[in-house]
Amino acid sequence: MTFRTLFALLVILGLFGAACGDSTTTTYEPDQLEGQEFWSTSVLDEGADRPLVTGTNIVLRFVEGNLDFNAGCNSGGGPYQIVDGTLVANEFGITEMGCDPDRHAQDQFVIDFLSAHPSISLVGDKLTMATATTTITLLNRRIADPDRDLIGTRWEVTGFQNPQASMSFAIDNPGWFTFADDATMTGFDGCHEFVISASLGINSLEFQMSNNNSSSGPDNCNNVDYSTEFNRLFDTAEVSISITGPNLTLLNAQGVGLTAVAS
């Protein structure tokens, strides 16, 4: 073997080794998806931008081996696996809400996409999924829609909860509240304005009702039932706090509470 032949062989082997080293590089481990929620930031179909129905988003959640999704109308989900960088999910259950034709079509588009074994890659907070014709890029929900701060946000009441049911009331002037600091809650309960002393913990809130509630408003209020449900929240001293994006839930130990949205 000549020196020139040996040199050429070493070069080829070096390039082959480098290529093999690159092929073993992975961008994530599949279990990194567990417990995460992602919101779509772009959808490309046949190389062109595919606009989503106004006011909707593609939302994916990876929870205990299940992939749950929502595209603006029905919610669905089912078991999934990731095999060699490919999402394998073939058995989806889905709700059957009645929606407009555009949102129904968008639901079907997402189901077809997820069932087509798209490639899947997570780099940092960005999730990319692609088939031969469609690419959907998503961002971790906490980045795409960060949790709002409890203090300083004006929260508008959207509904009430108790162990038996959830309920909502259609009134002209919905209740609201805000925390000016970690010790004072002010708001409107549908009939009266109020000020309550409150002590904020890590994930809980403790009310101190004695001599701290001042209210004003009409005595002949038409929203008495609404106001009664609102004030049931204060029947016990402490409530748990849950904030997801712009949505807030306050519940006491008996499962009584309310939901609100940042406004």
Token match 């490639």: residue?
119
pLDDT at 58 over 90: yes
Long-range contacts of 232-239 (CB under 8 A, 24+ apart): 232/160, 232/162, 232/256, 233/257, 233/258, 234/196, 234/207, 234/209, 237/206, 237/207, 237/208, 237/209, 238/204, 238/205, 238/206, 238/207, 239/204, 239/205, 239/207
Element holding 144 (H helix, E strand) = helix 141-144
Share of the chain above pLDDT 90, in %: 46
Element (H, E) at 105: helix 101-115
pLDDT, tens only, 149-200: 999 999 999 999 888 767 777 788 889 999 987 778 999 999 989 988 888 8
Instruction: Provide the percentage of residues in the chain whose pLDDT is more than 70.
Output: 83
The pLDDT assigned to 221 comes to: 84
Residue 134 has pLDDT above 90, yes or no: yes
Query: 258: closest CA among 149, 179, 169, 192?
Result: 169
pLDDT exceeds 50 at position 19: no
What mean pLDDT is reported for the chain?
A: 82
Give the pLDDT score at 261.
Answer: 92
| pLDDT of 83 over the 80 cut | yes
Q: What residue ranges of the chain are covered by domains with CATH 2.40.128.270?
A: 30-144, 155-262
Using CA atoms, how far apart are residues 66 and 34, in angstroms rounded to an integer? 9
Q: What is the CATH number of domain 155-262?
A: 2.40.128.270
| pLDDT at residue 94 in the model | 85
Q: Give the per-residue pLDDT at 30.
A: 52
Tell me the pTM: 0.64
Report d(CA 171, CA 184) in Å as an integer. Answer: 26
Q: Dump pLDDT digits (tens) for 204-261.
A: 888 875 444 555 555 668 888 899 888 888 777 789 999 988 999 999 888 888 999 9
What's the rounded Cα separation, in Å, for the pair 111 and 115? 6
Q: Which CATH architecture has domain 30-144?
A: Beta Barrel (2.40)
